[in-house]
């Protein structure tokens, strides 16, 4: 497996939010984590990116541990993370935002090539290079965030609530992008509240409750599964 999370526990202070989680993502696979608010989904992927203190367990990328690494080194090793809240630099142009995504690249020619490749993937950005990122719509900003994350050519892209606050048309565009990334060989680990659309774009899914994984299955099997309703909606 490309990404392996083994018995990971993490939290803040004395509070353990993620408890003994086992999860894996294969190369070229889309995996979605669903669960009610407060289940620990966002904390889990933040812990993978070393943004939340971890207590125990392992996170392995291609067999090598990334837990001792700072976030910038995790990015360099092949994991990119896009947070739930907007992370574009609003007073920089689209092109400047894209170049910021490659700040770890020492080769200017390689940076230009990857910016060009990102614009091919997101044509709307190619037409907005000189536009301030803060003036883009919410969906366009999300596309810019994904494009910027791809500048480091990550093996795995982690998305935290990528559809939150977007118009329905842009929600569909985001999930179409996720499928396109999978077709290009990227792995995606996604936290999402839009359960059916996220699972429809995924290969497998996990359901979290109270910081633990309660259910894992093929994504298509989870759509409409009464066990998901019980766990996700808290129905007993």
Give tens-digit pLDDT for 117-164: 999 989 989 989 999 999 999 999 999 999 999 999 999 999 999 999
The number of beta carbons lying within 10 Å of the beta carbon of residue 27 is 13
The reported pLDDT for the residue numbered 145 is 96
Q: Are strands 204-209 and 30-34 parallel, antiparallel or unpaired?
A: parallel
CA distance 222 to 195: 10
Q: How far is CA 123 from CA 16, 67, 127, 128, in A?
A: 43, 36, 7, 9
The reported pLDDT for the residue numbered 233 is 55
What is the architecture, at CATH level 2, of domain 3-232? Answer: 3-Layer(aba) Sandwich (3.40)
For the chain, give every domain's residue range: 3-232
CA distance 70 to 91: 27
CA distance 116 to 160: 26
Q: What is the mean pLDDT of the chain?
A: 92
The reported pLDDT for the residue numbered 236 is 42
């Amino acid at each position: 497996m490309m990404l392996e999370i083994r018995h990971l526990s993490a939290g803040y202070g004395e509070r353990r939010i993620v408890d003994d989680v086992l999860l894996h993502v294969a190369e070229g696979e889309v995996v979605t984590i669903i669960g009610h608010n407060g289940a620990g989904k966002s904390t889990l992927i933040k812990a993978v990116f070393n943004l939340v203190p971890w207590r125990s367990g392992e996170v392995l990328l291609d067999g090598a541990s990334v837990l001792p690494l700072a976030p910038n080194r995790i990015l360099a090793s092949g994991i990119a993370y896009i947070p739930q809240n907007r992370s574009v630099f609003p007073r920089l142009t689209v092109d400047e935002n894209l170049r910021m995504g490659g700040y770890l690249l020492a080769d200017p020619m390689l940076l230009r090539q990857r910016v060009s490749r990102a614009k091919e993937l997101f044509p709307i950005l190619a037409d907005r290079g000189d536009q301030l990122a803060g003036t883009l719509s919410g969906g366009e900003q999300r596309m810019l965030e994904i494009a910027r994350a791809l500048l480091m050519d990550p093996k795995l892209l982690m998305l935290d609530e990528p559809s939150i606050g977007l118009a329905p048309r842009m929600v569909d565009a985001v999930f179409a992008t996720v499928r396109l990334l999978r077709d290009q060989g990227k792995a995606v680990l996604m936290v999402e509240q839009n359960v059916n659309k996220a699972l429809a774009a995924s290969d497998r899914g996990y359901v979290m409750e109270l910081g633990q994984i309660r259910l894992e299955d093929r994504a298509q099997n989870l759509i409409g599964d009464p066990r998901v309703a019980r766990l996700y909606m808290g129905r007993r």
